[in-house]
Amino acid sequence: MNLSFFTDNKSGSGKIRGEQIANYLGVKLNPTEGYENDICIYVKSQPPENFSNVYLDIVDGKERIGWIKRHPEVGIISISKLSQEYLADILNRKDIYLIPQHHCNFERKQRKPREVRVVGYIGGKRQLNYDYEELKSDFAKIGLGFKWKTSFRDRHDVVSFLNSIDINIAYRYKKRGKYLRSALKLINAGSFGIPSVAYPELGYESEFKGCYIKAETKEDLVYNCKLLAENNDLYNKVAKDALEKSKLYHIDNIAPLYQTLKEL
């Protein structure tokens, strides 16, 4: 069975997933010819109107829902159990494929033992519900530095950033499209043995429950980071649980799932 992956430059998350999986499997990426008999996977990008053997790997692309409803013959891939159940419900379909998102840590690097000093956040400004400078000041008051990365070129940038922090945070409770989101932010950090403090999104609770520390408010966020920095036993336990859970999402385990897709 031959696979071809298609991405566009409009979607960072779709481009990352599509390129990394295609390169791992050694299959075609954005071919312009010779793919007519392949199973074609459009990652967070809209397939052409005249298609056959096409899957839409929706990732978190809620803007594709309308198109999918108008094209019930297209195959659908979801990134989480939560997403799979949501799509099955709103589309009234039982044939949604589940292929989780893989983490960035292909080399299985681990955080080296050191003092807990730096809290980190990776993502766009609109995804964090608190002001950066305000948070930086709050963390400074408890003796912790705060780093924020809003852009990256490839997974190596993410790996480098995560290697430089000791605690990962995620807080976007006002973000829409929550049913299509996964726990990738926590999984990426967990793959390095880095614990996370985060608002309990549905995706986090569905995939990563018990492997991170919940924070309902900004005060919770800061206080729980302080607890992790001061309590070595707590830090090690959360880090170990996150690491073990994240092993399931290594690309070695995820990429082969695309090879189980069937011709439509």
Q: How far is CA 215 from CA 31, 41, 137, 219, 245, in A?
A: 44, 37, 18, 8, 20
Range of the domain at 81: 3-99
Confidence at residue 11, expressed as pLDDT on a 0 to 100 scale: 64
- Which CATH number belongs to the domain containing residue 240 in this structure? 3.40.50.2000
Is residue 111 domain-resident?
no
37 and 81 co-located in one domain: yes
- pLDDT tens for each residue of 175-186: 555 899 899 999
d(CA 84, CA 69): 15
Statement to judge: residues 82 and 130 lie in one domain: no
In a domain? residue 254: no
In a domain, 112, yes or no: no
Contact 225, 144 (CB under 8 A): yes
Instruction: For residue 169, tell me if it sits in a domain.
Output: yes
Last residue of a domain, one of 48, 66, 99: 99
Domain count within the chain: 2
Distance between CA atoms of residues 32 and 47, nearest Å: 14
Task: Let me know if residue 260 belongs to a domain.
Answer: no
Q: Which of 99, 134, 157 is the last residue of a domain?
A: 99
pLDDT of residue 152: 76
CA quadruple 12, 14, 17, 18: dihedral sign: negative
Q: For 120-201, where are the alpha helices, taking DSSP H only?
A: 132-141, 155-163, 184-190
- pLDDT beneath 50: ranges in the chain: none
Q: Which residues, in sequence order, are CB contacts of 234 under 8 Å at separation 6+? A: 227, 228
pLDDT digits (tens, 9 = 90+) for 78-103: 999 999 999 999 999 999 999 999 99
258 lies in a domain?
no
What 3-state class would DSSP assign to 214? strand
